[in-house]
Amino acid sequence: MKSLRRILAIAHKEVLHVLRDPRSLYLALGMPVVLLVLFGFGVSFDMDHLPVALVDEDRTASSRRFAAHVFGSGELERVDAGGVTASDAVRLFEQRRAVGVLVIPAGFGASLARGRTAAVQLLLDGVDPNTATQTLGKADAVVRAAGAMLTSPGRGLPRLPVDVRVRTWFNPAGRSALYLIPGLTAYVLALASVLLTSLTLAREWERGSMQQLFATPVGRMEIILGKLLPYLGLGTTAVLLVLTAGAWVFDVPMRGDALALTACSTLFLLGMLGQGLLVSIVAKNQMVATQMATITSMLPSMLLSGFLFPIENMPAPLQVISNVVPARYFIHALRGIMLRGNGFAEVARDLVALGLFASVVFALGVARFPRTLA
Amino acid sequence: MTEHALLVRSLGKRFGSFQAVDDVSFEVERGEIFGYLGANGAGKSTTIRMLCGLLRPSSGRAEVAGHDIAVSPDRVKASIGYMSQKFSLYLDLTVEQNLEFFGGLHGLGGKALGTRIDALLEAVDLRGQRAAVTGALPGGLRQRLALASSLVHEPRIVFLDEPTAGVDPASRRTFWALIRGLAQRGTTVFVTTHYMDEAEYCARIGLMVAGRLVALDTPAALKRDLVPGRIMAVEGPGLGAATAALRAEPGVVAVEPFGAGLHVRVEASVEGAAIVARVLASAGIEPSRLEEVEPTLEDVFLAAADAGAEAKIRAAQQAETLA
Ligand SMILES: Nc1ncnc2c1ncn2[C@@H]1O[C@H](COP(=O)(O)OP(=O)(O)O)[C@@H](O)[C@H]1O
Ligand SMILES: [Mg+2]
């Protein structure tokens, strides 16, 4: 009873601190949404509005239907090239009016009519390789689809020459927000949780109020629970906020088990809070805590988690290290639950890994949390 | 269980090779105001931290409110209030929120806590600042709030570590009136200070010099025992030049700088004023003031610090001759 009172007193004080300092609220709730929108729109702009000019040298009904299909999907944006020829492509690139030129050569319609493979040509501006790769990937998919529409089923698929295998960095699936949101959620949660908890604990050390707490009957578990519980609540709110924003703005689905998602994010958050606790014990002042918290949360959850770079493409040593990065399991579980409709059975491995990480950091933190000053 | 509010036996604290508190023993009675005096670094805060269960002693033992600090630190913590040297309340919370927080830490809540906070705010005269943000309060009021928050659970003993440091004289007087009121109602007060005038309010005083408790008694007894003889207060220009001559004079016990001038301590049997006047005259100095004064605790402190230094030197010499 008294213990509960003490924990609540500390938690209540923590809530007051947070409410008094809008920066921590921004860090926990504002930053995730801002980053989500920046990343989400930033990348999807690149993907959805790639300006491509059309040069139709065939001028048949087939070529016009083909072009209509290619640009009708909305993935490539048709720029008005007003009768350009293939040799005008360079000028379009230089003026940055197009990133690609699609050439339908004369004889396209005739080849199709005879049931032969019809060729189209795609000229790409290679100055920005990233855009070029993305355009190629898009065009490949769109041209295949358009080609299929033109071919009657009995004659078999035309083998179109735009046959490329592209690994797109951010989203092999072609829709950026879908793939980004789980990673972004993990990244932002990790950063905000570790930073906020390590700072609030370091502040008590730095200001000498921890000493004041030690002169009361309050125990270290009570201090730790009281200080961290509010941030578990804040982190959970941030998860809900990001997922809601993702669903609204980018139509990210939520196909799987919401309970499994809650379990994953709670365990992940607990691990991050424990990491913040450890950082504060080592750092004991706000400046060092800020640096340690940022480095230990941001770098692994961005670079070693599969958020930006697929884990299977990493050098072997980094792949090994990524095994102890909790964000890796959280992102994997989130993608599975949200996009593939997974439930507890499929994310069991991730849950165990997240639970293990949380238990280890908390055990270490509690053991190393000083009870006296020396 | 003992009768004493505090019982300290051979308490010591060593930081590495540095002995911050060295073999300190004393008792404090219930309801007593016990003053712990000493220069910066003398070991006052370290002693308090050990008695509050914040530091583990390196040697010796202590009982606080009847509980051994090593055996049951949690019972000790439940029966004491602690006001640390550094102001460590939360500046971003209001006065009331700070008190609620410390009440909660002691397991208080609900109506009982509300009533207690009302009474405390009344006692320290902060009712008007109840909803004020602590960071906006002037120093004197902050000290009173810190005192109130250390009293929220009605402890039997409070430890106040330099509670009036850096506070203006009027606020210091108000603060000491509060402390005296507390003691009258039976709370034991253990207070450190380096303001000698404040020490006069204490029932007894322990003098710390370099980690050792060199004297312990009532202010009056300390003056009598540590400052025997009479004190001549001298002021005037160029006194520094005559210090050596004064010291060499038979009948003069000690010459200490004091305020703007000197305190010359002479044996009780000699004609102090005449001696000092003669020495100064032969040095060509005309004092603007020369009169006998009552010893203050400052004189006690200077004498004790000297004695402490002498004792250290003697101990070192002994160790050398033994080696
Ligand atoms: N945690 C510590 N580690 C090392 N030295 C310390 C520590 N705390 C205090 N000291 C040293 O012990 C001595 C006594 O300090 P303290 O008790 O704070 O003195 P006071 O309160 O009388 O000014 C000082 O020299 C101080 O530097
Ligand atoms: Mg001190």
Asked if pLDDT for residue A244 goes beyond 90, the answer is no
Give A142 or A211, the one with higher predicted confidence: A211
- How far apart are the CA of B254 and the nearest CA of chain A, in angstroms? 41
Are both A106 and A8 inside the same structural domain? no
C-alpha–C-alpha distance, residues B75 and B70, integer Å? 11
Per the domain annotation, does A141 fall within a domain?
yes
Chain B residues within an 8 Å CB radius of A20: 92-93
| pLDDT at site A161 | 38
Q: Which of A171, A173, A198, A166 is nearest to A184 (CA)?
A: A171
Mean pLDDT score of chain B, rounded to an integer? Answer: 89
Q: Which of A97, A96, A139 is nearest to A120 (CA)?
A: A139
Nearest to B74 among A12, A13, A217 (CB): A217
Taking the Cβ of residue A4 and every Cβ of chain B, the question of whether any pair is shorter than 8 Å is answered with no
| pLDDT at site A314 | 85
Give A153 or A369, the one with higher predicted confidence: A369
Lowest mean pLDDT segment, chosen from A36-50, A175-189, B267-281: A36-50
Asked if pLDDT for residue A49 goes beyond 90, the answer is no
Domain locations in chain B as residue ranges: 6-218, 228-294
Give A196 or B298, the one with higher predicted confidence: A196
Are both A17 and A103 inside the same structural domain? no
Are both A38 and A64 inside the same structural domain? no
Are both A136 and A258 inside the same structural domain? no
**Ligand 1 pocket test: which of B13, B15, B22 has the largest number of ligand atoms within 8 Å of its C-beta?**
B15
What is the mean pLDDT of the segment spanning B18-33? 95
B41 Cβ inside 6 Å of ligand 1 = yes
Lowest mean pLDDT segment, chosen from A141-145, A152-156, A302-306, B252-256: A152-156
Asked if pLDDT for residue A160 goes beyond 70, the answer is no
Contacts of A293 (CB under 8 A, 6+ apart): A191, A194, A195, A198, A199, A276, A279
Asked if pLDDT for residue A42 goes beyond 90, the answer is no
- DSSP labels for B178-243? HHHHHHHTT-EEEEEES-HHHHTTSSEEEEEETTEEEEEE-HHHHHHHHS-SEEEEEE-TTGGGGH
Reply yes or no on domain B228-294 having CATH 3.30.70. yes
Are both A96 and A196 inside the same structural domain? no
Per the domain annotation, does A168 fall within a domain?
no
Q: Which of B42, B75, B70, B66 is nearest to B56 (CA)?
A: B70
Are both A62 and A14 inside the same structural domain? no
On the question of a common fold for B6-218 and B228-294, the answer reads no
Asked if pLDDT for residue B61 goes beyond 90, the answer is yes
pLDDT tens column, B242-277: 888 888 888 888 888 888 888 888 887 778 788 888
B46 Cβ inside 6 Å of ligand 1 = yes
Q: Which of A306, A301, A314 is nearest to A275 (CA)?
A: A301
Asked if pLDDT for residue A299 goes beyond 70, the answer is yes
Tell how far the Cα of A208 is from the centroid of ligand 1, in angstroms: 15
Are both A124 and A197 inside the same structural domain? no
| pLDDT at site A172 | 40
| pLDDT at site B11 | 97
Per the domain annotation, does A356 fall within a domain?
yes
Q: How many domains does chain A have?
A: 2
Contact B54 A214 (CB under 8 A): yes
pLDDT tens column, A88-103: 777 777 777 888 888 8
Per the domain annotation, does A169 fall within a domain?
no
Contact A2 B97 (CB under 8 A): no
Report ipTM (2 d.p.): 0.81
Q: Nearest-5° angle of CA B312, CA B314, CA B317?
A: 110
Lowest mean pLDDT segment, chosen from B112-116, B206-210, B262-266: B262-266
Contact A215 B77 (CB under 8 A): yes
Asked if pLDDT for residue A323 goes beyond 80, the answer is yes
Ligand closest to Cα of B58 equals 1
Q: pLDDT tier at B149 (50, 70, 90 boundaries)?
A: very high
Mean pLDDT score of chain A, rounded to an integer? Answer: 83
Q: Whose alpha carbon is nearest atom 12 of ligand 1?
A: B20
Host domain of residue A357: 2-44+175-368
Chain A contact probe: residue of B80, B90, B117 with most A CBs at under 10 A:
B90
| pLDDT at site A84 | 62
In order of A92, A267, B102, B167, the CA distances from B163 in angstroms are 78, 45, 18, 9
Are both A63 and A38 inside the same structural domain? no
B40 Cβ inside 6 Å of ligand 1 = yes
Q: pLDDT tier at A162 (50, 70, 90 boundaries)?
A: very low
Contact A212 B88 (CB under 8 A): yes
Per the domain annotation, does A159 fall within a domain?
no
Are both A54 and A40 inside the same structural domain? no
pLDDT tens column, B171-189: 999 999 999 999 999 999 9
| pLDDT at site A127 | 67
Q: pLDDT tier at A144 (50, 70, 90 boundaries)?
A: confident
What is the mean pLDDT of the segment spanning B199-213? 92
| pLDDT at site A203 | 94
Are both A313 and A285 inside the same structural domain? yes
Per the domain annotation, does A61 fall within a domain?
yes
What pTM value is reported for the model?
A: 0.77
Tell how far the Cα of A373 is from the centroid of ligand 1, in angstroms: 12
| pLDDT at site A250 | 77
Asked if pLDDT for residue A125 goes beyond 90, the answer is no
Give A86 or B58, the one with higher predicted confidence: B58
- DSSP labels for A298-336? HHHHHHSSSSSS-GGGS-HHHHHHHTT-HHHHHHHHHHH
| pLDDT at site A122 | 80
Radius of gyration over every alpha carbon of chain B, rounded to an integer in angstroms: 23
Are both A338 and A277 inside the same structural domain? yes
CB B5, CB B81: distance < 8 Å = no
Are both A140 and A190 inside the same structural domain? no
| Top-level class of domain B6-218 | alpha beta
B45 Cβ inside 6 Å of ligand 1 = yes
Contact A9 B104 (CB under 8 A): yes
Q: pLDDT tier at A155 (50, 70, 90 boundaries)?
A: very low
Contact A373 B15 (CB under 8 A): no
Q: Which two three-digit tokens encode residue B174?
A: 């108000």
Per the domain annotation, does A157 fall within a domain?
no
Q: Any idea what the CATH number is for the domain that residue A56 is in?
A: 3.40.1710.10
| pLDDT at site B223 | 83
Per the domain annotation, does A39 fall within a domain?
yes
| pLDDT at site A176 | 56
C-alpha–C-alpha distance, residues A186 and A194, integer Å? 12
| pLDDT at site B312 | 60
| pLDDT at site A45 | 43
CB B37, CB B212: distance < 8 Å = no
What is the mean pLDDT of the segment spanning A63-79? 82
Asked if pLDDT for residue A170 goes beyond 50, the answer is no
Give A74 or A152, the one with higher predicted confidence: A74
